[in-house]
Amino acid sequence: MSKIKRIGVMTGGGDCPGLNAVIRAVTKTAILKYGLEVVGIKHGYKGLYEGEKAFVPLTLHDVTGIIFKGGTILYSSNKDNLFDYTYIDKDGKQKRGDVSDVGVENLKKAGIDALIVIGGDGTLTSGRDFSRKGVKVIGVPKTIDNDLASTDTTFGYDTAVSIATEAIDRLRTTAESHSRIIVVEAMGRYAGWLALGAGIAGGADAILIPEIPYDIEVVAKALKHNRARGKNFAIVVVAEGAKSKDGDIVVSKVLENSPDPIRLGGVGELVAGQLEGLVGLEARATILGHVQRGGTPTANDRILSTRYGVAAVELLMQGKFGNMVALRGNEISYDSLENVIGELKNVNPNGELVNMARSIDICFGE
């Protein structure tokens, strides 16, 4: 414990409701309980590469009144992996390669003894890699997708589900007024947690997720069955990574120089077009997109973020480096970053949530 005097904290990847609540909890716990200095690293790993100009002291005043704010006061980047980084060399030429040693050296120059990394799979992968290089790292799981292994829930997920559910509630009035099928495309990448949660909460007629490849004919049959019972509209929630039994995921574009080059999107429009012809009702698609990631975090996410932030500092002070804080049941725990990385947490197609949804006549296109 005596060896840690100054800690760094950074946020990476896509923004997410609750990031500021974690930063606040880390800063307050470090200063008030342990008398540490806290340094914020702006713009994620890009800031770690840039060094001193991206390093800012965090005081109690700096984190006052930020618990309810979305985004991150430290800013973020989801394109900068220092183990495979595009940079300009001393001769002014653009190069790409491993510059992680620069990041390690910048931490040493700033007197930062340990680093708390807040992010999803990509950000935590680099956190693990820096841990392997001897940096004292603790990870905090962040993603609206809720797809990180070793934790039951990531912060940001509850807020995103609430936003998506509210959108479904609003779209339902239009669907019912005009006797339409409204297809709602949710984020989530290759996991269906967000679509599943919002679909159940929003009373969807069908939910299409990556873990259960769908047959569009089966979906259409379910909607026609509901129509025969007098329901002349429908809500279908589709995860952006959903795919048909005889098809593949729908890709909106590919960014060659990005660490995550595949951008999903467009399955909502595809499903809407197919259902319109099969069911005989006019169909519209709404892509929720980044609205799910923005704005004020829910009370649940503020509490979870605070618990994670406090636990991250405690792990550092206990010397349990190379771990990620986690929630298991209702207890805060932790697991090695080595176990977290590369393990996507998917929806269980035969789990309690899916079976519950089946029991109330939600169609998964099976």
For the annotated catalytic residues, the residue numbers are 145
d(CA 80, CA 152): 27
d(CA 145, CA 153): 10
d(CA 219, CA 216): 5
Place of tokens 């930063």: 23
- Burial of 259 by CB count in 10 Å (0-12 exposed, 13-18 middle, 19+ buried)? middle
d(CA 86, CA 98): 9
d(CA 232, CA 178): 9
d(CA 190, CA 197): 15
d(CA 173, CA 99): 53
CA distances from 33 to 310, 324, 331 (A): 10, 21, 21
Which H/E stretch holds residue 101? helix 100-109
Q: Say whether 224 sits in a helix, a strand or coil.
A: helix
Q: Say whether 32 sits in a helix, a strand or coil.
A: helix
199 near 237, Cβ under 8 Å? yes
Region of residue 214 (left: phi > 0; alpha: psi -120 to 50; beta: else):
beta
66 near 17, Cβ under 8 Å? no
- Joined together, the tokens standing for residue 22 give 């974690």
